[in-house]
Each structure stands twice: as C-alpha cells, then as structure tokens.
Amino acid sequence: MAFHIVELLRARSAEREALYERHVNPQMAHVLRAIGFNRAWVRGKGAVLFDAEGREYLDTLSGWGVFNLGRNHPTVSRAISDVISLERANLVQMDAPILAGLLAEALAARAPAGLTAVHFTNSGTEATEAALKFARCATRRPRVVFCHNGYHGLTYGALSAMGSDYFRQGFGPFLADFTAVPFGDLGALERELGRNDVAAFITEPIQGAGVVMPPPGFLREAKFLCARHGTMLVVDEIQTGLGRTGRFLALEHEGVTPDMVLLAKALSGGFVPVGAVLLRHETYARVFPSMERCVVNAGTFSENDLAMAAGLATLHALDDEKLVERTVVAGERLRAGLERLRRRWTSSRTSAARAFSLPSSSASRSRASRSSAGKPSTRCVRDCLRRWSPWRSSTSTASSPRLPAARWR
Ligand SMILES: Cc1ncc(COP(=O)(O)O)c(C=O)c1O
C-alpha cells in the first residue's frame, strides 16, 4: 500500500492529543490543557495560526524565534521543494557540497569583518558546543566564562554555560572550568579574564530569557577585555540574529567584531534545522590543522542540502523584502503601542500580556478578538504585527514608510 501523508493526517488527526500524551510528552499535554492551548492547529501563514475551527491567532511565540520570515514563506518552501525534485546527490560526505559553499559565502558576506569561515551544525546548541570546543582548542586554555541568566542550549557544554538553574537541576555534574558572571558586569568579567586562563567568554547580545538588555557599550567593552586577555569572545546570535533587532546581527548596534558568532533558529526559514559558527580562518586552522583532522568536529546532517537551501532562501527573502529594515519600523510601532498600553494600565507586565494574548486562549476566541478590536492600543499592536510581518498583502497606509510590500500571501 502506498504511503500518503495527507491521507494519514486526515485519518488520524483526531488522535493528536492522545498520541502526544501517550508517546511524546505527557506533561506538555497537561500544560496545554491547563492553559487552554490544546488546540488543533491546521495551518500557519506568516504571523498567523489557524485552528481546526478556522479561527485565526496571532503567533507571538514564533516557534521560539524561528519565524523571522513568518510561517511557510514561499521562497523557502519553493527552494526546499526544488532541491527535493532535483534528486541531488545529498550527504555524499566525502564531498564539497555546492549549497554549503554558497550559504557559507552568503553568511561571510554579512558577518563582521574577518569571520569568513563557517562551520555548520544541526541546531543552536550544537553551534554552542562547536564554539566552546574551538575556543579551547585554539587557545589551549581550559576556562569558559558565561553570564547569569544566559541561555546557549541544553547539551552538556551549553548546559555548563547555562545561567538558569531551572535547566540545570537534576542533570549535574557539568563540565569543569565554567564560571558565571552577572550579565553586563564588566568588573566581574575583568576579574575572571585577568587570570589569563579563559578560552572563551560566551554571551548573548540581549538575553532571550526575559529580554534582558545589557548596559550600553557592554559588548564593545567585553571585546576590549577579551582581546587584552587573550580570550575569545563568542556572541550567541541564535535568538537575536537575522534581523530580529533591526540589524542583521544585534552586535552591529555596537560595531563589535567578535571571535565567533553563533546562528541557528531563523536561518532555517522555519523549515529545516540549521546552525552555524562564523569564525576566523586562523581559528579554523588551529582546530583543523591537518587533512587527518578535517572532520574532527562534524555532524552527519550538518551540511545537508535541504538545510543549506533553506538558509540561502531565508537570506534572499530577508534582503529582497527588506525585512531587517521593516523590523525597525515594526519595532517602533510596537513600542509605541505597548507604551500606550503601559500608560493605560498600572503595570506594564499586565498590559503587555493583554496585548499579546490577542486573540488568546479563552474559549470564546472570536468574541474576544472582536471586542478587543475596538481598543486602539491593542489594535495598534496587532495591526503592527500584521502590517509589518511578511505574510501581509501589499496594501500600505498613508503613514507607512515606503518599503517594498511583502511579495506573498
Ligand atoms: C540564545 C540561544 N542560544 C542557543 C539556543 C539553543 O538553540 P537550539 O534550541 O536550536 O539548540 C537557544 C534556543 O532557544 C537560544 O535562544
């Protein structure tokens, strides 16, 4: 009997919750029920999810930061379909795949000066692992300094640089020689680096957990201290990269050139997992010094054609639709809308939660969204996300800056 995924979905969709609870993650199934998120999502387009009853939901979780292009962007979708239809010689392994070369070239062109070597991985945490290994190998030093509240992934190296106890509890012991400093505390950082045994200082430019901003100039000063003490600065742009902060990389706000940059999440276009470490050729040469060591850090799937095509298509769409520039405009509108909400409500936390739960988890979804639609500030936040996310149609308002319309719906 032939295999038909469409038929399988049609026949078994009603078992969704039960199967997940029985075989995948029972606790998540409980959470979803408890918060009313146990919906059957049947479609996603741009920033919008549709449930089985045809209701629309604005998705501000964004797959934990993978949908910078929105869901099911046609450029990425087509690139992946085209690669499949070409029946290419994927994963030859003893090979120099053209798509890996092209994606590396495209990333190097967008990277801070000198970071022209690219090492591909399958995820963000694997990119972290690679960077920690490369730093230790290249500097011949043992220690890693990271930040309280930082997040770099959940494998053991990344978890050893984890700034939150929630993810560490129950999984120790961790790797030796990892030290935490408060995020943004240059004095504490200097004390650690001053021991001249630190291979890497790893940090996010903005911490994803809680969206914590460091003091202005932190990254620039950290780079200065790292350079003075022979430590590699590893900037984790897995969450902040690919336009999320109004620049291709968040570190561009401070004009910093680190020793390594980590990417993943949105580089996938929301389709095929991919991660990347951008580094200098000198660092690469220390880690991979001979033909014998050419695969001393590698992954079976890390340069696979589908991931590379997704990455290339994503970068193309970011440029073609000027999405990085649009992020600045959307961010400003969003900030203004949230500010109005903050003023209206006593606590900004309450107001943000109300804004972002549109239309949210209560049972009467369409009623809720209809009634909230009349409130100017919540409407502003929702309109902003819709207007400036790439899923929207090409209509623009008189007050909108003249940016090209997103090409798809
Ligand atoms: C800043 C940062 N680094 C690393 C990771 C880990 O990425 P992944 O979940 O792809 O392993 C994440 C994931 O949320 C992240 O936000």
* Chain segment 283-296, per-residue pLDDT in tens: 999 999 999 999 99
Which among 169, 144, 170 has a CA at the least distance from the CA of 158? 144
What Å distances lie between residue 73 and 15, 250, 253, 384, CA to CA?
Answer: 28, 23, 27, 19
Q: State how far the Cα of 302 lies from the Cα of 100, in Å rounded to an integer.
A: 9
d(CA 272, ligand 1 centre) in Å? 15
- CB 199 within 8 Å of CB 139: yes
Task: Report whether 75 contacts 319 (CB < 8 A).
Answer: no
pLDDT in the model for residue 364: 32
Q: Which domains does the chain have, with CATH numbers?
A: 76-320 (3.40.640.10), 321-409 (no CATH)
Cα(155) to centroid(ligand 1), Å: 10
Q: Could you identify the atom of ligand 1 that is nearest to the CA of residue 153?
A: 6
Closest CA to 353 of 341, 343, 365: 341
Q: How far is the CA of 68 from the centre of ligand 1 (A)?
A: 15
The model's confidence at residue 350, banded by pLDDT at 50, 70 and 90, is low
133 vs 361, residue with greater confidence? 133
Q: Is the pLDDT of residue 77 over 90?
A: yes
Question: DSSP per residue over 189-237, as a string?
Answer: HHHHHTTS-EEEEEE-SSBTTTTBPPPTTHHHHHHHHHHHHTPEEEEE-
Q: How far apart are the first and last CA of the chain?
A: 36
Residue 232, amino acid: M
Mean pLDDT on 56-81: 97
257 vs 241: CA distance, rounded Å: 14
**Distance, CA of 239 to CA of 241 (rounded, Å):** 6
Confidence check: pLDDT of 404 > 80: no
Query: Is the per-residue pLDDT at 361 higher than 90?
Result: no
- The tens digit of pLDDT for each residue in 83-98 reads 999 999 999 999 999 9
- In this predicted structure, what is the pLDDT of residue 362? 32
Q: What is the dihedral of CA 108, 327, 41, 77, to 10 degrees?
A: -40
Could you tell me the distance, in angstroms and rounded to a whole number, from the CA of residue 277 to the centre of ligand 1?
13
Q: What is the chain's mean pLDDT, rounded?
A: 88
Q: Is the pLDDT of residue 58 over 70?
A: yes
Among 122, 151, 235, which is best to mutate for testing ligand 1, by the most ligand atoms less than 8 A from CB? 151
- Enter the tokens of residue 297: 């850090």
Query: Predicted confidence band at 346 (pLDDT cuts at 50, 70, 90)?
Result: low
Residue 385 confidence class, pLDDT cut points 50, 70, 90: low
What number does the ligand 1 atom closest to the CA of 207 have? 1
| Cut 0.75: pTM above it | yes
Mutate to test the pocket of ligand 1, among 68, 120, 152 (most ligand atoms within 8 A of CB): 152
Tell which one of 159, 265, 268 to mutate to probe ligand 1, the residue whose CB is within 8 A of the most ligand atoms: 265
pLDDT in tens, 120-176: 999 999 999 999 999 999 999 999 999 999 999 999 999 999 999 999 999 999 999
**CA 301 / ligand 1 centre spacing (Å):** 18
Atom of ligand 1 nearest to the CA of 264: 10
Say if residue 382's pLDDT is above 60: no
| Interatomic CA distance for residues 96 and 104, integer angstroms | 12
The encoded tokens of residue 178 equal 């990892």
Q: In the chain, what percentage of residues exceed pLDDT 90? A: 83
Mutate to test the pocket of ligand 1, among 61, 183, 239, 267 (most ligand atoms within 8 A of CB): 239
Task: Output the pLDDT for position 345.
Answer: 85
Q: Is 312 exposed, middle or buried (0-12, 13-18, 19+ CB in 10 A)?
A: buried
CA of 4 to the centre of ligand 1 (A): 33
Helix (H) or strand (E) holding 262: strand 260-263
Between 386 and 408, name the one with better pLDDT. Answer: 386
Cα separation, 319 vs 409, in Å, equals 18
Would you state the pLDDT for residue 68?
96
| Closest C-alpha residue for ligand 1 atom 13 | 153
What is residue 167's predicted lDDT score, i.e. its pLDDT? Answer: 97
Q: What is the mean pLDDT of residues 100-119?
A: 98
- pLDDT tens digits for range 313-322: 999 999 999 9
What is the predicted pLDDT for the residue at 379? 56
As a whole-number percent, the residues of the chain with pLDDT over 70 amount to 84
In three-state secondary structure terms, 2 is coil
Residues touching ligand 1 (Cβ under 6 Å) are: 64, 123-125, 128, 151-153, 204, 208, 236, 238-239, 264
What is the average pLDDT across 242-247? Answer: 96
Ligand 1 atom, smallest distance to 64 CA: 14
- Give the other-Cβ count within 10 Å of 9's Cβ: 11
Mean pLDDT confidence for 196-212: 97
Ligand 1 geometric centre to CA of 389 (Å): 23
